[in-house]
Amino acid sequence: MDYYFRFGVVWANFDKLLQGLALGLALALVAIAAGTIIGIVCAFAAAGGNRATRVGVNAYVSIIRNTPILVIVLLVFFALPQLGVRLDKYQSFIASLAVYAGAYLTEVFRAGLSGVPRGVIDAGRAIGMTGVQVSTYVVFPIMLRNSLPAMGTTFISLFKDTSIATAIAVPELTFQARKINVETFRVVEVWLVASGLYVATCLVIAAGLRQVERRYSRL
Amino acid sequence: MESFLHELWIARYVLLSGLKITVFVSAVSILAGSLIGLVTGVALAYGPRPIAWLMRGYVDVVRGTPVLVLILASFYVLAIAGIHFTAIQSGIFALSIFCGAHMGEIVRGALQAIPKTQTEAARSIGLTFSKILAYVLLPQALRQILPVWINTGAELVKASTLLSVIGVGELLLSTQEIVGRNFQTLQFYTLAGVMYYCVNFAIESFGRQAERRLRG
């Protein structure tokens, strides 16, 4: 195998890769924030609400979780304009990822919610809190703490899913890597560096989340 | 609606062959990946230091990399390494590696969750390590991981859509070809979503069945 590694061209384009990484992180951050809100709302709706909302939430979670994210992304970007909804590529990717994230996070929060002991709810009611107060001050914090580990895994996997934005030409890390490949043909080097960046970012996110977990599980 | 049915009739063979490739690719990758994962998981839990570290590196790197990057990398990089795979082969390779890393972590978790006393009891009645693994640890671990395994299978079916990027004619690429001809984006992408849902629903029901059989 006569292959000589030349990382020069990769370092020359390294700023593009970093820009791509930053864009991916930004997309993930916005989508995760939106998805977390969707997830919390859906989890509470499914837990407390009537039959209809529970069936609705179940359908949403099961449909989105069993559909590939690439299909969702393409559907939102290419098919929604047919219905008159026009989003640019960033908006449409964020919307897709948020809807996708919401389904996974609903499951996470639902599991966290079911881990809240019955006794603390009763205790809250006993000292005269209203239902809403019990939910916000008692159930919500405990649920959040229960859900932290699973949230971390989901966040990391959602960050990795930003690579799929390359399919609709969002210039994130994978897109930039492919672009550099086309320009320089240093395929091995570019993919090594790109995967290295992904792995490093995931490790950093994981370490950060572990810190948060340690901070809040100590209470 | 009528024009959609008309187009659907024209596209029936393309869609079916796409579905066939999707199912084939997913099935092969799940099988290969599960085998890799089993070996990796055992090595992670009980292997000697250097092997365990090597496997830890493999698992962490692959789990920290998006599947799409793995697929693109194995499509382009393997060729330079002198291995000439077709698109579908390198796709299956990437998906198996991906599945293997995830399964490895799952198997390790399940193995380490088994109480130490099980191993000690088995050793005290004189079983060798390989026998302990085969008759005591793995049966318990496999029962534990069944739900997660089914879940990984469904994830893999979804990940197989990414092979469309390297030109494997699976269900999504077939759909894109069809859309490219008749411009019925909404209808056919929705149809693709429904088909994936059905495949995954079938996997899920199968998993529930198997779980009931194992528990009951």
A3 belongs to a structural domain: no
Interface ipTM: 0.85
B32 belongs to a structural domain: yes
Contact A66 B162 (CB under 8 A): no
Q: How many residues does chain B have?
A: 216
Query: Which pTM does this prediction carry?
Result: 0.88
More confident residue, B31 or A50: B31
Asked if B140 and B150 count as a contact pair (C-beta separation under 8 A), the reply is no
Residue A83: CATH number of its domain = 1.10.3720.10
Q: Which residues of A142-179 are buried (b: 16+ CB within 10 A; e: fewer)?
A: bbbbbbbebbbebbbebbbbbbbbbbbebbbbbbbbbb
Checking if the pLDDT of A1 tops 80, the result is no
CA dihedral B172, A71, A51, B148 (to 10 degrees): 80
Q: Is B67 on the interface with A (CB under 8 A)?
A: yes
Predicted local distance difference test score (pLDDT) of residue B74: 93
B1 belongs to a structural domain: no
**d(Cα B67, Cα B162) in Å, to the nearest integer?**
8
**d(Cα A115, Cα A132) in Å, to the nearest integer?**
19
Please, what is the average pLDDT of chain A? 92
The Cβ of residue A208 has, within 10 Å, a number of other Cβ atoms equal to 12
Predicted local distance difference test score (pLDDT) of residue A219: 56
The Cβ of residue B6 has, within 10 Å, a number of other Cβ atoms equal to 11
Asked if A48 and A114 count as a contact pair (C-beta separation under 8 A), the reply is no
Residue A84 CB partners (closer than 8 Å, separation 6+): none
Domain that holds residue A154: 8-217
Residues from chain A contacting residue B161 (CB–CB below 8 Å): 68, 70-71
B87 belongs to a structural domain: yes
- Rounded (5°) CA angle A185-A188-A192: 130
Q: Is A70 on the interface with B (CB under 8 A)?
A: yes
Residue of B nearest to A185 (CA): B76
Q: Is B120 on the interface with A (CB under 8 A)?
A: no
Contact A164 B172 (CB under 8 A): no
CA A120 to chain centre: 30
B29 belongs to a structural domain: yes
pLDDT in tens, B189-207: 999 999 999 999 999 898 8
Q: Which amino acid is at B31?
A: L
Q: Which amino acid is at B187?
A: Q
**d(Cα B131, Cα B137) in Å, to the nearest integer?**
9
B20 belongs to a structural domain: yes
CA A213 to chain centre: 18
Domain that holds residue B107: 10-215
Residue of B nearest to A202 (CA): B64
pLDDT over 70 for what percent of chain A?
99
Measuring CA to CA, which residue among A90, A89, A109, A128 is closest to residue A35?
A109
Residue of B nearest to A79 (CA): B186
B188 belongs to a structural domain: yes
Q: Which amino acid is at B127?
A: L
CA distances from A33 to A26, A27, A93, A101 (A): 11, 10, 14, 9
- Rounded (5°) CA angle A150-A152-A153: 70
- How many structural domains comprise chain A? 1
Q: What is the CA radius of gyration of chain B?
A: 21
A39 belongs to a structural domain: yes
Residue B133: CATH number of its domain = 1.10.3720.10
Burial (CB count <10 Å: 0-12, 13-18, 19+), residue B204: middle
Residue of A nearest to B66 (CA): A160
Contact A195 B73 (CB under 8 A): yes
B17 belongs to a structural domain: yes
pLDDT in tens, B122-157: 999 999 999 999 999 999 998 889 888 998 999 999
Checking if the pLDDT of A50 tops 70, the result is yes
B5 belongs to a structural domain: no
Predicted local distance difference test score (pLDDT) of residue B216: 62
CA distances from A94 to A1, A26, A38, A85, A170 (A): 43, 10, 13, 15, 11
pLDDT mean over A2-8:
81
Asked if A171 and A93 count as a contact pair (C-beta separation under 8 A), the reply is no
Asked if B147 and B209 count as a contact pair (C-beta separation under 8 A), the reply is no
> Using CA of residue B133, residue B137, residue B142, residue B147, what is the dihedral sign?
negative
Q: Is A161 on the interface with B (CB under 8 A)?
A: yes
CA distance from start to end of chain B: 47
- How many structural domains comprise chain B? 1
pLDDT over 90 for what percent of chain B?
78
A2 belongs to a structural domain: no
A92 belongs to a structural domain: yes
CA distance from start to end of chain A: 57
Residue B94 CB partners (closer than 8 Å, separation 6+): B67, B70, B71, B73, B74, B75
A167 belongs to a structural domain: yes
Residue A1 CB partners (closer than 8 Å, separation 6+): B81, B82
* Residue bearing tokens 């008749």: B182
Contact A1 B63 (CB under 8 A): no
CA distances from B199 to A189, B45, B97, B167 (A): 37, 33, 22, 21
- pLDDT-derived band at A147, boundaries 50, 70, 90: very high
Checking if the pLDDT of A218 tops 70, the result is no
- What's the gap in Å between the CA of A108 and the closest CA on chain B? 15
Q: Is A75 on the interface with B (CB under 8 A)?
A: yes
pLDDT mean over B22-33:
96
